[in-house]
């Protein structure tokens, strides 16, 4: 893999980044990645949990931990700096490594908050890997856990955390808590094999055996479904939480 080829890739990514920047500005949206420090509330009391090494879905990496150097990237981590900059040189070297025999081997460091990821170290790695369409990026993750409240988004996130204990998957996100009237098979599964009310639920081994099929269904949008009395359409295996109540 020649450096010139990697430089050509940078110029292509830069051109795409400049186009994305213009489009986002015209839409009145921020052209840069989100900043977690700006999202977290003041006097934040959230706890931090080490999740470990995770295969992060690329599309869920939406920002950085702090505001430093965010102007070097667009919102989707395309580069914005001139090809003669020090930033570009490092990007090109990473690109050459990615397309070479060794590839990019070091995981990024990032924080996860409400299902989205914010990079603390490895922004250029994310930029290179996303440029080449990598569906997952390895990262060492710390999860910021908000206090449990009555807010539906927070309750759904707590249901997701229980699901993650059994599945170790981030490709499934819960946006709404499951209504109490929904059937027992539609409720979330915890690591102990019990639902929120403490009643026995689907065994973890059964859930583990269906995860690959669920992800394929997610991509095809063809989930096994059943309509509940409340109007929600529930999947057969777990709480997906993204189906709004029917009007």
Structure tokens at 223: 């989930």
How high is the pLDDT of residue 153? 87
For residue 198, the tally of other CB atoms under 10 A from its CB is 9
- For the segment 135-156, the average pLDDT, to the nearest whole number, is 91
Give residue-wise pLDDT tens across range 83-137.
Answer: 999 999 999 999 999 999 888 989 999 999 999 999 999 999 999 999 999 999 9
Give me the residues paired with residue 47 across strands: 145
In this prediction, residue 181 has a pLDDT band, given cuts at 50, 70 and 90, of low
Structure tokens at 237: 């295996």
Give residue-wise pLDDT tens across range 151-180.
Answer: 888 888 888 888 888 878 887 777 676 665
* 225 CA to centre of own chain: 25
| CA 5/CA 153 separation, integer angstroms | 45
Cβ neighbours for 28, distance < 8 A, ≥ 6 positions apart: none
Task: Tokens 């795409």: give the residue.
Answer: 16
In 3D space, the residue among 230, 128, 114 whose CA is nearest the CA of residue 174 turns out to be 114
Position 187 pLDDT exceeds 60: no
**3-state class of 59 per DSSP?**
helix
Give 223 or 120, the one with higher predicted confidence.
120
How high is the pLDDT of residue 179? 60
Give residue-wise pLDDT tens across range 10-37.
Answer: 999 999 999 999 999 999 999 999 999 9
Parallel, antiparallel, or unpaired for β 34-35 and 61-64?
A: parallel
| CA 25/CA 181 separation, integer angstroms | 45
For residue 34, the tally of other CB atoms under 10 A from its CB is 14
First to last CA, the chain: 56
Cβ neighbours for 112, distance < 8 A, ≥ 6 positions apart: 51, 118, 141, 142, 143, 144, 170
Cβ neighbours for 130, distance < 8 A, ≥ 6 positions apart: 58, 61, 76, 77, 78, 137
What are the start-end ranges of the H helices in the chain?
A: 3-26, 36-39, 86-99, 123-131, 152-167, 204-220
């Amino acid at each position: 893999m020649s450096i010139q080829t990697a430089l050509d890739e940078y110029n292509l990514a830069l051109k795409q980044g400049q186009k994305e920047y213009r489009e986002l500005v015209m839409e009145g949206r921020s052209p840069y990645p989100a900043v977690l420090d700006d999202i977290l509330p003041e006097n934040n009391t959230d706890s931090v949990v080490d999740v470990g090494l995770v295969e992060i879905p690329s599309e869920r990496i939406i920002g950085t931990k702090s505001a430093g150097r965010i102007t070097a990237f667009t919102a989707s981590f395309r580069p914005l700096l001139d090809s003669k900059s020090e930033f570009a040189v490092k990007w090109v070297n990473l690109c050459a490594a990615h397309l070479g025999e060794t590839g990019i081997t070091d995981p990024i460091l990032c924080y996860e908050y409400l299902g989205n990821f914010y990079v603390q170290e490895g922004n250029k790695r994310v930029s290179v890997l996303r440029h080449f369409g990598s569906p997952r990026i390895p990262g060492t993750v710390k999860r910021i856990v908000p206090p449990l409240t009555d807010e539906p988004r927070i309750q759904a996130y707590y249901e997701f955390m229980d699901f993650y204990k059994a599945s170790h998957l981030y490709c499934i996100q819960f946006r709404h808590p499951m209504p109490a009237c929904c059937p027992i098979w539609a409720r979330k599964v915890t690591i102990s094999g019990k639902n929120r009310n403490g009643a026995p639920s689907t065994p973890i081994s059964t859930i583990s055996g269906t995860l690959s099929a669920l992800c394929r269904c997610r991509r095809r949008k063809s989930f096994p479904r059943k309509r509940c009395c409340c109007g929600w359409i529930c999947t057969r295996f777990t709480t997906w939480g993204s189906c709004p109540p029917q009007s």
